Every structure is written in C-alpha cells, then in structure tokens.
C-alpha cells in the first residue's frame, strides 16, 4: 500500500525548499505527497525578498479538507511563521493523535531572512512540539527554541537534544551541519537513549532546502512504519546522495537545490 504524507509548510517558487522540496522528497521516497500552504514566499537561490502569509483559518481549512477525504499516514510541519498559524495547525491536527508528525522548526532561510516571527517561538513550543513524533532542529533552531546559545560541541548538542525532548517531542534529531568541523554529526535522542549519526561534510554550496528535504524523507519513512532510528539512517543516506549529486543541476547562481531525483533520473537515462 502506497502511503500518503501531508506537508504543512510554505512555498518556494524556485523549487528548492518548502512545499516544492517536500513533494519531491515524498515522491523520491515512494509515498504520495499532499500539501497545505502556510505562506507564499518570493525567493530564489540567492535569498527571500517577500513573504505573504496564509490566514490561520484557511491553513486549518486546508488540513481539515485533506483529513476529511484522504487517509493520512504521516505529517511533516515546516514553515509556520506566526503564533496564529501554529495554533491553527495544532487545532486541526488535534483529532488525529497517533499519526507520525515530523516538526522541522523553520526559522531562518539559507540567505538569512527570518521565516518565523520571534514572538511565535513560544507558540510553536507550546502548541506543536508536544504533537511531534520527531523534532528536527539545526543548531541555531535548537538554541532559539531553548533560548540558549548555539551549541559548539557534541556535548552541548546532546544536552540540548535532551532538553528539547523534555518540551514534548517523542524524539529529537539535532543536526550538526553548523558545527565548525569537517564532520556533520547529528544526534537522535529518544526515550531509549541517544544515537549519533556520522557524516562527512560535502564540499558544495548547493544546500538549499536540505532541512526541508531531510524532514520530508523522515516523514516518508515513518509513514512506512520505520522506527525513528531507522528512519533517520535511511533519510540521511538519501539526503547525502542528493547533496552529492546537486552539481548535476544548474539552478540559480546562489545556494542551489539538492538533486531530489538523483536515482530516478539516472534510471531514466538523464
């Protein structure tokens, strides 16, 4: 049975991040993708130049329409933008406890533009973190959620992962891509302990949408019934291959997108 996964996130018209990246990652990982938009952005590989938010009641209406008709096997939550949207998403998902939910706390775009109202951090923490099967912050996002300094070591990463899990998520994956190192380690904290995932840093500027892509791949694997640890292992391998193949694309002059369909397009002779 092909699984159905819903992304609740913002749009990226250049196709590398947001809803567009989510749908590509869902398809690449063999699940049927659906989308409820929280925001429209004007952006490309060089940065974000504008954001137009969807009214909270209409965000909720989109989510409820999907659940009223379609079996939803997992949910990925990305760009939330403000407290009203956070509350609307939580209210719409409340009747559907038990479905795996991946929360990717999108706060800052690759080019530095803020994508989450600072006053909305507490609303995100209060309303959405307790719903999360898996929370996937990078180091700046983990620090912002905890109102702390950004972790600079593995020890600090592990400590922040545990404190984030105390806020309600069943599991937390703190991503170490911002560490000053040739390595890019991630740590998964669950009720059964901690697990490190090691990875070499890929020398490329084409990293637009990596967080969106990873969280969507995780949602796809959880929808198929994988454990959090197995889902992280599979999703990280997929993302590493997508980043390594990003140079095959010629999209924009800034931070280009990863190659979501690196395996499929090879099969198609491209």
pLDDT tens column, 193-221? 999 998 777 778 888 999 999 999 999 99
Pick the catalytic residue from 16, 18, 209, 256. Answer: 209
Residue 210 is a catalytic residue: yes
Annotated catalytic residue within 212, 213, 236, 256 = 212
Helix (H, G, I), strand (E, B) or coil at 11: strand
Higher pLDDT, 237 or 200: 237
pLDDT for residue 143 is more than 60:
yes
Is 24 designated active site? no
User: Quick check: is 212 catalytic?
Assistant: yes
Predicted pLDDT of residue 115: 62
Is pLDDT at 117 greater than 90 in this prediction? no
Helix (H) or strand (E) holding 103: strand 101-103
CB 167 within 8 A of CB 142: no
Q: Of 210, 213, 224, 236, which one is the catalytic site residue?
A: 210
| 74 contacts 138 by C-beta, under 8 angstroms | no
Map tokens 């791949």 to a residue: 217
Question: Has 177 been annotated as catalytic?
Answer: no
33 a catalytic residue:
no
Please say if 209 is a catalytic residue. yes
**How far is Cα 144 from Cα 107, in angstroms, rounded to an integer?**
9
Q: Which of 16, 176, 211, 256 is catalytic?
A: 211
pLDDT value at position 114?
59
């Amino acid at each position: 049975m092909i699984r159905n996964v819903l992304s609740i996130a913002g749009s990226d018209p250049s196709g590398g991040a947001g809803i567009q990246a989510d749908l590509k990652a869902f398809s690449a990982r063999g699940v049927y993708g659906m989308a409820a938009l929280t925001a429209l952005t004007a952006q490309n590989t060089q940065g974000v130049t504008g954001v137009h938010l969807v009214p909270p009641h209409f965000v909720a209406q989109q989510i409820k329409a999907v659940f009223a008709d379609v079996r939803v096997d997992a949910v990925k939550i990305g760009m939330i933008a403000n407290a009203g949207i956070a509350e609307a998403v939580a209210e719409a998902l409340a009747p559907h406890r038990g479905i795996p939910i991946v929360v990717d706390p999108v706060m800052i775009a690759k080019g530095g533009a803020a994508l989450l109202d600072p006053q909305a951090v507490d609303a995100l923490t209060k309303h959405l973190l307790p719903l999360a099967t898996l929370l996937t912050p990078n180091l700046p996002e983990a620090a912002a959620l905890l109102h702390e300094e950004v972790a600079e070591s593995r020890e600090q990463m592990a400590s922040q992962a545990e404190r984030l899990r105390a806020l309600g998520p069943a599991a937390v994956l703190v991503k170490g891509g911002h560490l000053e190192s040739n390595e890019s380690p991630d740590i998964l904290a669950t009720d059964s302990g901690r697990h490190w995932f090691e990875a070499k840093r890929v020398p490329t500027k084409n990293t637009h949408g990596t967080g969106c892509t990873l969280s969507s791949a995780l949602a796809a694997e959880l929808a198929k019934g994988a454990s959090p640890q197995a889902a992280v292992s599979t999703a990280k391998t997929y993302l590493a291959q997508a980043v390594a193949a990003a140079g095959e694309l010629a999209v924009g002059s800034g931070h280009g997108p990863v190659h979501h369909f690196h395996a499929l397009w090879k099969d198609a002779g491209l």
